[in-house]
Structure 1
């Protein structure tokens, strides 16, 4: 037996991907996602003041 035959072989390194140019549709889609995320965060903040909407399920006590 010669050298390092046993064990897991390392995969070859992949070349780095070039930055993709974004067209107008991609920019509009990203902007729409950001707007929706902002609205969702605002709704969560408002709902957080009233209390949780769902229960956490079965709660375990710290006692054994």
Structure 2
């Protein structure tokens, strides 16, 4: 009776994926995604700290 019988077995390693050749459509799509991501990051940096959304939460009035 060995110590490994009751435990979890290791999963088999998956074979490495072969890198496929990218055609012009794939390259254009990836380039477009990178540009959109940069634009989103720029908008996030510009919008951070401004407006009522920066405070968050519900404001409580002094009335009871």
Q: Identify the TM-score tier after normalising by the shorter chain.
A: 0.5 to 0.7
What are structure 1's unaligned runs of at least 5 residues? 59-64
Superposed CA RMSD in Å reads 2.3
Q: How far apart, CA to CA, are the structure 2 residues paired with 1:52 and 1:24?
A: 42
Count of residues in Structure 1 that have an aligned counterpart in Structure 2: 56
Deviations along 1:5-60, one digit per CA (max 9) or x if unpaired, are 32212222221111122111111111111111121122222223x615624336xx
Aligned match of 1:39:
39
TM superposition score normalised by structure 1: 0.61
Do the aligned partners of residues 15 and 53 (structure 1) sit closer, same or farther apart at CA in structure 2, a change above 3 Å counting? farther
TM superposition score normalised by structure 2: 0.61
Q: How do 1:1-64 residues align onto structure 2 when only pairs under 5 Å count?
A: 2-3=1-2, 4-48=4-48, 51-52=50-51, 54=53, 55-57=55-57
What are structure 2's unaligned runs of at least 5 residues? 59-64
Q: How far apart, CA to CA, are the structure 2 residues paired with 1:23 and 1:52?
A: 44
